[in-house]
Amino acid sequence: MNDRDLVRRVRQLGAALHRAARWQGPSIEVDSAKDDFVYELLCYVSAALGAAGHFRVTLILRPHPTSKKLVPLFPKKPGCKKNFSLLLLKGSVDQIEFELCPGIFVEDRHGKRRAPDINLLCANAAEDPSHLHLCAMWDAKYVQDETQRLADTAVSDFVVTFEELGSPAAPPNWANVIGIKAFFASGLITNGRASTERLAMLKQRNVTETSSFPKSPSTRP
């Protein structure tokens, strides 16, 4: 998948989410085809679409830094939750069950701020969330050549972040209803091939790895 394909896929997913959710502003805008942000946004919107089959999804808008108009704002680099849009996932009684956030800062067990690309937070999480608010997390890893393997160092880096953030295990009211296997449990997502890390390592660390996403995704273990 080349950069232009990624942009088209993001826009297609955004249009589908527009039909599945209650968007309160203009469509997602992608102004660069040469940034990992495009793939990260693709994965974020994919998670939202998986959730939209069960939850009522509402987009929270934020003031644009220049115009001050309320618009969808998604971080290209880690940022504070209060500055960026997020999705509220509501159950059948219209109560918030989760917040699905892009790459925002989350404080780990030792007070360091970390920023997974996709964060599933508990309902009504704090504006400065900590690992105690985190229900699951994912990192998106884009490679230019889809025949390349995900680097083992990317897996080990994710494991450290995952464990420092409390090793969040997705709760049943998420894992049992989400429609995309890549998001059943915390893990890595790449458009490339799987890393050479062994299944036993992933199982022991309680993380998943999804390769060839979104063309022909395969999730292990």
Higher per-residue pLDDT: 178 or 14: 178
Can you give the pLDDT at residue 125?
Answer: 97
| Predicted model pTM | 0.89
In our burial notation (b when 16+ CB lie closer than 10 A, e otherwise), range 60-69 reads: bbbeeeeeee
Domain residue limits at 173: 3-220
pLDDT band at 179 (very low <50, low <70, confident <90, very high): confident
Higher per-residue pLDDT: 64 or 142: 142
* Residue from 190, 198, 183 nearest 216 by CA: 190
* Residue from 130, 25, 19, 122 nearest 74 by CA: 25
pLDDT in tens, 136-149: 999 999 998 999 99
Can you give the pLDDT at residue 92?
Answer: 83
Can you give the pLDDT at residue 22?
Answer: 62
Mapped onto helix, strand or coil, the DSSP state of residue 174 is helix
What is the number of structural domains in the chain? 1
pLDDT in tens, 11-43: 666 676 666 666 555 555 544 445 578 899 999
Higher per-residue pLDDT: 161 or 30: 161
Tokens of 152: 């083992």
- Cα separation, 178 vs 149, whole angstroms: 27
The CATH code of the domain that includes 110 is: 3.40.1350.10
